């Protein structure tokens, strides 16, 4: 059995994270990177949210027609914009934040959630609250923390500087309240989360950790269809 999952990223740095996942034999990835949407939404005030939504749909439909069995979206901005009902090609779409939401919903107390892209905060938190309500969880208590200066670094390709800024903020959050759960909302911060957590003997949540199980479940679903 051979399965191909097409992955949509907003930055090339996310490719290595996905390629590093342990996946079932026969599963392969095809990566697509589109940083232009975020850039245009930030720079062009005449570019409407409706135009952005249409762009995401066109991108996914193009990917779906390029021999994909399913799609994985790692960009929280694209996830927030996507209306699956508008997709003409019907393939399973795995959104990286869904298994991550499950992990957050299972932890009690106020949860610090770190973002670097301000444009994704509202969409991600609203999706989290909707997810909790649909599955019968209590509404998560979320304290959002945003580092917009860090996002500018990663979009310019300054990965080490980005990681250092994120790690410093994570360590500050852990020091401020060691008992409070802390997670990062974007895949681009997974390495920083692992390193900051290891230095403090703590576990910092990130979207990559629960993704492996979700990919395995998707592969079983796809295998049953073939």
Residue pLDDT, tens place only, 159-170? 999 999 999 999
Task: Tell me the residue range of the domain where 151 lies.
Answer: 98-206
Confidence of residue 184 (pLDDT cuts 50, 70, 90): very high
Asked if 124 and 44 sit in the same domain, the reply is: no
Given a cut of 80, whether residue 225 has pLDDT beyond it is: no
Tally of domains within the chain: 2
pLDDT, residue 224, reads 60
pLDDT, residue 120, reads 86
Confidence of residue 42 (pLDDT cuts 50, 70, 90): confident
Asked if 40 and 117 sit in the same domain, the reply is: no
**Over the chain, what is the mean pLDDT?**
91
Asked if 102 and 202 sit in the same domain, the reply is: yes
Confidence of residue 1 (pLDDT cuts 50, 70, 90): low
Asked if 215 and 168 sit in the same domain, the reply is: no
DSSP 117: -
Asked if 88 and 161 sit in the same domain, the reply is: no
Instruction: Write the pLDDT tens digit of every residue in 122-144.
Output: 989 999 999 999 999 999 999 99
Asked if 80 and 168 sit in the same domain, the reply is: no
> Structure pTM?
0.87
Asked if 50 and 103 sit in the same domain, the reply is: no
CATH assignment of the domain containing 189: 3.40.50
Neighbours of 40 (CB within 10 A): 14
Percent of the chain with pLDDT over 70: 98
Asked if 88 and 50 sit in the same domain, the reply is: yes
What does each C-alpha distance from 33 to 62, 103, 111, 157 come to in angstroms? Answer: 13, 27, 30, 14
CATH assignment of the domain containing 66: 3.40.50.1860
**CB contact at 8 A, 43 and 54:** no
Instruction: Write the pLDDT tens digit of every residue in 149-162.
Output: 898 898 888 999 99
How many CA atoms within 13 Å lie on the side-chain side of 85?
0
Neighbours of 169 (CB within 10 A): 22
Instruction: Scan for tokens 């681009």, then name that residue.
Output: 188
């Amino acid at each position: 059995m051979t399965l191909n999952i097409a992955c949509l990223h907003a930055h090339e740095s996310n490719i290595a994270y996905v390629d590093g996942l342990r996946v079932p034999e026969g599963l392969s990835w095809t990566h697509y990177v589109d940083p232009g949407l975020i850039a245009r939404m930030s720079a062009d005030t005449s570019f409407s949210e409706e135009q952005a939504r249409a762009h995401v749909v066109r991108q996914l439909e193009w990917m779906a027609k390029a021999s994909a069995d399913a799609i994985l979206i790692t960009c929280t901005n694209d996830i927030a914009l996507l209306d699956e009902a508008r997709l003409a090609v019907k393939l399973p779409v795995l959104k990286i934040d869904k298994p991550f939401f499950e992990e957050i919903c299972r932890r009690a107390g106020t949860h610090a959630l770190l973002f670097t892209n301000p444009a994704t905060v509202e969409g991600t938190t609203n999706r989290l609250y909707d997810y909790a309500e649909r599955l019968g969880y209590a509404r998560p208590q979320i304290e959002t923390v945003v580092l917009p200066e860090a996002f500018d670094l990663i979009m310019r390709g300054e990965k080490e500087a980005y990681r250092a800024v994120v790690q410093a903020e994570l360590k500050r959050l852990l020091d401020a309240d060691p008992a409070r759960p802390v997670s990062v909302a974007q895949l681009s911060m997974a390495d920083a989360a692992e390193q900051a957590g290891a230095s403090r003997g703590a576990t910092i949540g990130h979207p990559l950790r629960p993704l492996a199980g979700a990919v395995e479940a998707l592969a079983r679903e796809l295998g049953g269809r073939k």
